[in-house]
Amino acid sequence: MRYCSTRGKIHGLSFTEAVMMGLADDGGLLLPEKIPVLSKDELQKLSELPYPELAFQVISRYATDIPAKNLKDLIDRSYASFEHPQITPLVKQDDLYILELFHGPTLAFKDVALQFLGNLFEYFLLKSGQRMNIIGATSGDTGSAAIYGVRGKKNINIFILHPQGRVSPIQELQMTTVLDDNVFNLAVEGSFDDAQSIVKEIFGDLDFKERHALGAVNSINWARILAQVVYYFYAWFRVKRETDCSGIEVSVPTGNFGDIFAGYIAKQMGVPISRLILATNSNNILSRFINDGDYSTANVHHSLSPSMDIQIASNFERYLYYLLDCDAEKVVQAMDKFHKDGKLSFTDTQKERVKKEFASSSIDDNETIETISTFHKKTGYTLDPHTAVGVAAGERVRNTAYPLVCLATAHPAKFGDAVKKAIGSDPDLPPAFIGLASREKKVVTIPANMERVKKFISENAI
């Protein structure tokens, strides 16, 4: 399998090269040159496999330059860190299914991809004798999932900047109680935007970047999308066991368009997903795109589902590439226009095509709380605010001819305040959180100053 960029200047990369490149050198995003399609018979053969074996069957079609034995070992190790034997169990509640993606070490769905990416990086680095220093800024979820993905790994150090006192207490504890030698938490005296712009500036210093072999784990890495494709297969096989149906709809709480794009790939591969339901909070650029063909930025609002508080969805360009019939020249023009005008427009034919593949609804904070509360009264099951956005959107726009699967992207205890507001009591703490506050911590406070951060990295880089 070879990889190319959505902007047309990069071709013929191996899987290893695509993963190590991350963002394509021409500014685009990397995609497989051809998506493998599985026949009904091939799907049937995969339908009873346990999660790690299914993951191997899906991923090995893309990671063709890793020997099967090594890939299998990497995948097994990635999912051994999950608390649930089924990895991503499917549960039926009321008249819908919930695919629980939060049984990994940081209790959010990003673990599914980052546990795999961490092992993949280590494997490539050990093979080539190279090293990598990962740098990132986080407002919560991604930073902790990245830290747990690479903690204790060889040839990798990780530096995660978070705004001091401005991430949720649980998220802060998840990061700072990791004591491995290769993990560095920097509490920046400033806002998330300060932390993020420091990281961007550091990456802009190409000399520094090369000297310290800087790397990133952001959501545009193809390996992250690939790992997420697997659970769409898994969900379909599990629903199919319980009901006789010709397909499913899947509702996806969406921010950067990574998770739902994985669903789009699964559909191309043959998983009968009738429509993907794209659920947004009040940051609704993607809902406006699907419902009205209006892709235009607005200000970011803070919501009760903070991991979906985005306006520019970094993976959207991958879908755009397919919508523009894989014409890289058109993608370049569209992205230029978007950069200049802050918006894109689409033809009627394109809008129709989008509506065949997706449905969408935007759910505000009041509706989110209402959904957690109503669902809890009806079923006894507690949704986290991100999952609640997906459930509310799914219930609103679903086609009842198909079973509905809602992706549960975080454990409710991670967002205890919002949940308490909805159901009147704190959600149960999972074992991973008990006693977290009294553990030893490793964190360095640092001013919001790029030179100081660079100095720290220079002194501690591998």
Q: Would you tell me which residues interact with ligand PLP (CB under 6 A)?
A: 108, 110, 141, 219, 253-259, 307-308, 386, 409-410
In the complex, what is the shortest distance from the CB of residue 347 to ligand PLP, in angstroms, rounded to a whole number? 26
Question: 205: how many CB neighbours lie within 10 A of its CB?
Answer: 14
Nearer to ligand PLP, 6 or 106 (CB): 106
Q: Which of 110, 240, 267, 414 is catalytic?
A: 110
Q: Rounded distance, CA 163 to CA 109, Å?
A: 22
CB-nearer residue toward ligand PLP: 256 or 303 = 256
CA-angle at 164, arms to 135 and 142, nearest 5°: 40
User: Residue 109: exposed, middle, or buried by beta-carbon count in 10 A (0-12, 13-18, 19+)?
Assistant: buried
In the complex with ligand PLP, the residue whose CB is nearer, 155 or 280, is 280
| CB atoms near residue 240 (< 10 Å) | 18
Residues in the chain: 462
- Whose Cβ is closer to ligand PLP: residue 155's or residue 219's? 219
User: Do the Cβ atoms of 24 and 30 come closer than 8 Å?
Assistant: yes
H/E segment holding residue 250: strand 248-253
40 classed as catalytic:
no
Residue 9: CB atoms within 10 A of its CB come to: 13
> Least distance (Å) from ligand PLP to the CB of residue 310?
7
**Taking the complex as a whole, how short is the minimal distance between the CB of residue 62 and ligand PLP, in angstroms?**
18
Sheet containing 358-362: order of strands = 90-93, 96-100, 404-408, 248-253, 273-280, 358-362
Angle at 384 between CA 383 and CA 385, to 5 degrees: 115
CB of 111 to ligand PLP, least distance (A): 10
Complex with ligand PLP: residue 56 or 257, whichever CB lies closer: 257
Return the number of the residue (122 or 141) whose C-beta is nearest ligand PLP: 141
Beta bridge mates, 295: 344
Question: Considering only CA atoms, which of 11, 42, 114, 3 is closest in space to residue 269?
Answer: 42
Helices 141-150 and 110-128: crossing angle in degrees, nearest 10, is: 40
* 400-433 per-residue burial string, b: 16 or more CB within 10 A, e: under 16: eebbbbbbbbbbbbbbbebbeebbeeebeeeebb
Give dist(CA 406, CA 373) in Å, integer. Answer: 17
Instruction: Of 179, 164, 182, 168, give the one whose Cα is nearest residue 439.
Output: 179
Nearest approach, Cβ of residue 99 and ligand PLP (Å): 13
Q: Three-state DSSP class for 191?
A: coil
Locate tokens 């220079």: which residue? Answer: 458
Owner of token pair 């978070």: 162
The CA R_g of the chain, rounded to the nearest whole Å, is: 21
Least distance in Å: CB of 10 to ligand PLP?
23
Alpha-carbon distances of 390 from 240, 253, 333, 398, 404, rounded to whole Å:
21, 5, 33, 11, 11
Nearer CB in complex with ligand PLP: 290/457: 290
- 127 vs 301, beta carbon nearer ligand PLP: 301
The H or E element that residue 344 is part of is strand 343-344
Between residues 28 and 385, which has the closer beta carbon with respect to ligand PLP? Answer: 385
Task: Tell me the closest approach of the beta carbon of residue 207 to ligand PLP, in angstroms.
Answer: 31
- Residue 97: CB atoms within 10 Å: 21
Smallest distance, ligand PLP to C-beta of residue 359, A:
16
Strand locations in 356-400 (E): 358-362
Shortest distance (Å) from residue 318 CB to ligand PLP: 12
Distance from C-alpha of 196 to C-alpha of 314, rounded to nearest angstrom: 15
List, by residue number, the catalytic residues: 110
